[in-house]
């Protein structure tokens, strides 16, 4: 039997809004301080999308940059997979909006909802499609406008989130490159710890849901923190185990950027020195599904991640969901 060919990353792109909201700006909105935010999360500023622009506008820009980087034309795409919890609409999908905006006339397009782990879920699906020879070119996007579902009166959450988009084009691997292993998991029993209760079909928008501020992110931060550390650590080790690779062999860890203390705990468990751990949370805050593709593109374009390097992606988010992907770039 022929061995199936995994997917590899052909190109990446990112787009972030120009408007910046600093911790000092937030001090004027809620009872918080730059010092508290930096010490407890590592965040210094976040980018916020201007009114009138949509998630798919920003994601289309990130996608065009990824396609250009990959040398792939939009009409060559077989699939567009968008990981987001802040879609343009409940339906139609944001993926379909992007398909129209970038002219990917031959692609099937759909969204996935796996919160901060969404990009890794998307990579895993793209890898399966390519291995099964159902696709030759897949665009995976992680894109969020979290500012639109942030409660700017709730200091326990509003200091954490930001907006951004990142994208990757995947195709069949060459040589020893490609996705060596991926691992995705979820546990719906814990969904209430991180949730936007309003706006779905359970609590559609009414005056009451708006008055109760149900259309915003609600998070039990301390509980989520504990689960995130454990699940990300386990997922990282699992992806390494599946590929028979040790953490010493890694060139770069790109973790979901939710809290620098979570990242430090995972890096320490994997015994990775600082220079092997990518951190940009200070610039963007937590951008959910966009955080890993934003970091991946930054790392590639700044030369931190080079062809042939071994890179481990790991994430945790609402659902709960978590996952990891080990990639030879």
Catalytic positions, please?
116, 256, 286
Question: Nearest-CA neighbor of 280 among 304, 298, 265, 253?
Answer: 298
Does 32 interact with ligand UT7 (rule: CB under 6 A)?
A: yes
Cα–chain center distance at 92: 21
CB 102 within 8 A of CB 63: yes
Instruction: Kindly write down the DSSP assignment for every residue of 130-179, as one continuous string.
Output: HHTTS-S-EEEEEEEEGGGG--TT-HHHHTTB-EEEEEEEEEE--TT-EE
From the list 228, 239, 270, 329, which residue makes contact with ligand UT7 (rule: CB under 6 A)? 228
Residue nearest to ligand UT7 (CB): 221
Does 224 interact with ligand UT7 (rule: CB under 6 A)?
A: yes
* Size of the residue set binding ligand UT7 (CB under 6 A): 20
From the list 59, 72, 116, 312, which residue makes contact with ligand UT7 (rule: CB under 6 A)? 116
From the list 286, 287, 321, 324, which residue makes contact with ligand UT7 (rule: CB under 6 A)? 286
Task: Please give the order of strands across the beta sheet that includes 138-145.
Answer: 7-15, 163-172, 138-145, 79-83, 108-112
Does 95 interact with ligand UT7 (rule: CB under 6 A)?
A: no
Does 317 interact with ligand UT7 (rule: CB under 6 A)?
A: yes
Does 313 interact with ligand UT7 (rule: CB under 6 A)?
A: no
**Token pair in block for residue 205:** 């928008």
Does 258 interact with ligand UT7 (rule: CB under 6 A)?
A: yes
**Which residue's CB is nearer to ligand UT7, number 36 or number 110?**
36
Does 36 interact with ligand UT7 (rule: CB under 6 A)?
A: yes
Does 156 interact with ligand UT7 (rule: CB under 6 A)?
A: yes
Is beta strand 178-186 parallel, antiparallel or unpaired with respect to 321-328? Answer: antiparallel
Nearest approach, Cβ of residue 315 and ligand UT7 (Å)? 8
**Which residue's CB is nearer to ligand UT7, number 216 or number 225?**
225
Q: Look at residue 287 and give its three-state secondary structure.
A: coil
Candidate segments 169-177, 208-216, 221-229, 275-283, binder of ligand UT7 by CB under 6 A? 221-229
Residue with tokens 């916020």, as numbered in its chain: 48
Q: Look at residue 214 and give its three-state secondary structure.
A: coil
Quote the DSSP letter at residue 2.
P
Nearest approach, Cβ of residue 150 and ligand UT7 (Å)? 12
Does 262 interact with ligand UT7 (rule: CB under 6 A)?
A: yes
Nearest approach, Cβ of residue 322 and ligand UT7 (Å)? 10
Signed CA dihedral, 286, 291, 297, 300: sign only: positive
CA distances from 313 to 4, 240, 244, 246, 324 (A): 22, 11, 16, 14, 5
Does 221 interact with ligand UT7 (rule: CB under 6 A)?
A: yes
Is beta strand 20-22 parallel, antiparallel or unpaired with respect to 321-328? Answer: unpaired
Does 40 interact with ligand UT7 (rule: CB under 6 A)?
A: yes
Does 230 interact with ligand UT7 (rule: CB under 6 A)?
A: no
Does 92 interact with ligand UT7 (rule: CB under 6 A)?
A: no
> Please, what is the end-to-end C-alpha distance for the chain in angstroms?
26
**Which residue's CB is nearer to ligand UT7, number 41 or number 60?**
41
**Token pair in block for residue 36:** 């508290």
From the list 38, 148, 155, 269, which residue makes contact with ligand UT7 (rule: CB under 6 A)? 155
Residues that bind ligand UT7 (CB under 6 A): 32, 36, 40-41, 116, 155-156, 159-160, 221-222, 224-225, 228, 258-259, 262, 286, 316-317
């Amino acid at each position: 039997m022929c061995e199936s060919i995994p997917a590899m990353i052909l190109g990446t792109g990112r787009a972030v809004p120009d408007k910046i909201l600093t911790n000092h700006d937030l001090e004027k909105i809620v009872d918080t301080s730059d010092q508290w935010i930096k010490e407890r999360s590592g965040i210094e500023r976040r980018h916020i999308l201007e009114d009138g622009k949509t998630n798919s506008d920003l994601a289309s820009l990130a996608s065009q940059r990824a396609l250009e980087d990959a040398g792939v034309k939009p009409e060559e795409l077989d699939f567009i997979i968008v990981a987001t919890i802040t879609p343009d609409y409940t339906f139609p999908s944001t993926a379909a909006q992007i398909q129209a905006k970038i002219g990917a006339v031959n692609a099937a397009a759909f969204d996935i909802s796996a919160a901060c782990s969404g990009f890794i879920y998307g990579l895993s699906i793209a890898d399966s499609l390519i291995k099964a020879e159902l696709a030759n070119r897949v665009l995976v996007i992680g894109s969020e406008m979290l500012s639109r579902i942030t409660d700017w009166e709730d200091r326990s959450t509003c200091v954490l989130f930001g907006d951004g988009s990142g994208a990757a084009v995947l195709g069949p691997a060459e040589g020893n490159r490609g996705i060596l292993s991926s691992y995705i998991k979820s546990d719906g029993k814990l969904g209430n710890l991180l949730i936007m209760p309003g706006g779905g079909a359970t609590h559609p928008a009414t005056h009451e849901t708006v008055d109760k501020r149900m259309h915003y992110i609600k998070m039990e931060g301390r509980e989520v923190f504990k689960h995130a550390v454990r699940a990300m650590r386990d997922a990282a080790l699992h992806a390494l185990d599946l590929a028979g690779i040790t953490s010493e062999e890694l060139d770069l860890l790109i973790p979901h950027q939710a809290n620098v203390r979570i990242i430090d705990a995972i890096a320490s468990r994997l015994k990775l020195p600082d220079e092997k751990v990518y951190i940009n949370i200070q610039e963007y805050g937590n951008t959910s599904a966009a955080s890993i593709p934003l970091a991946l593109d930054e790392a590639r374009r700044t030369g931190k991640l080079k062809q042939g390097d071994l890179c481990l992606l790991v994430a945790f988010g609402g659902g709960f969901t978590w996952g990891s992907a080990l990639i030879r770039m």
